[in-house]
A = this chain, B = another copy of it.
Amino acid sequence: MNSDFKNRPVAVIGLGLMGGSFAERLTELGCFVIGFNRTEETAEQALRMGLVQSVNPQDLKKADIVIFCTPVKGTLAFLKEHGDWLKEGAVLTDIAGVKDHNWPRIRELLPPGMDFISAHPMCGREGAGLAQADGTIFNNCNYVLIPEKENEPEHLELIARLARALGAKHIPRVTAEEHDRFIAYTSGLPHAVAASLMNSESYEKDTGMFIGGSFTDATRVADINGRLWTSLFLSNRDKILAEMDSFQESLCKLRKALETEDAEALCEFFTEARRRRREMIHHGSR
């Protein structure tokens, strides 16, 4: 399966943490990786780091696959300004964390003869920027695809094969609406929780001397790009608000059991949480 990608020209647009990680892994797979970034300095750095093999915009014409690792606005801007730099017949894809309302805007700007497969690899790491690039983030990740009726089945399969080659475990296919609903729960909510834990008035400078794994893990994703996440939250506002409410309900149930010193209710709550957690991990590892 990996021979599918050896020597394959693949373009990565946007060389931040995610773009850099794609580039690193694709280079490892033997692809000919062409990188593009708005600031040339970053592109040069990626070249020096060996993450890409070319940063010459003219080489973009060679790419069979073009991966947009930019915010949605950046993707649309590139298509508008430089769509003609890409090869006719290229298969485009992206990594945007919110899907709804994107498709009409993408279709409007997509050059003729090109296909665009909306995707969302559920992986990353704390921090931001090229220096944080890490090709191993794709190992066993969930890589979500959002097939649109205008997509060609073989292009969908190509991106699915790409995801598999990168290291993905599950490659579920859902609608844009389903995607946004799922990730409001599995991504928006833990980010909201991580930031809220840090911003509790209980935090103090010495907190670091009293933490163990649970606080460290629960707050890892508090270390995020504020502007990117503001944008992600606003574009999935309703669904994230709904998840915050469901979570509040759950937390209040626990709070009530504790307040009334109901040992049985507490134990049931923890036991059910454990059951679900094990089921989730087990089910996700099949």
Contacts and interface: CB of A to CB of B under 8 A. Distances in A.
Interface of A: 122-125, 141-142, 144, 170, 172, 182-183, 185-187, 189-203, 205-224, 226-227, 229-230, 233-234, 237, 240-241, 243-244, 246-251, 253-255, 258-259, 261, 263, 266-274, 276-285
Contacts of A258: 233-234, 237, 240-241, 244
B263 A198 contact: no
B233 A142 contact: no
21 contacts: A124-B212, A182-B210, A186-B210, A187-B212, A190-B214, A190-B219, A193-B197, A196-B254, A198-B272, A199-B269, A199-B272, A201-B249, A203-B276, A219-B277, A219-B280, A222-B274, A224-B270, A233-B266, A237-B258, A241-B259, A248-B251
Given A230-B270, A274-B223, A211 B280 contact: yes
A226 B269 CA distance: 8
Nearest to A181: B202
A243 B190 CA distance: 18
B193 A267 contact: no
A23 to B, nearest CB: 20
A108 B263 CA distance: 27
A125 B229 CA distance: 30
Identical chains bound together, number? 2
Contacts of A201: 246, 249-250
Contacts of A123: 212-213
Contact of A142 (B187, B193, B210): B210
Contact of A194 (B218, B224, B237): B218
Given A190-B217, A191-B214, A194-B214, 7 more contacts: A170-B208, A189-B215, A195-B270, A208-B280, A226-B271, A234-B266, A237-B261
Contact of A267 (B142, B227, B283): B227
B187 A250 contact: no
Contacts of A251: 192-193, 196, 244, 248
Contacts of A207: 182, 185-186, 280, 284
A200 to B, nearest CB: 5
Contacts of A267: 226-227, 230
A76 B170 CA distance: 49
Contacts of A268: 226
A274 B220 CA distance: 9
A199 B284 CA distance: 17
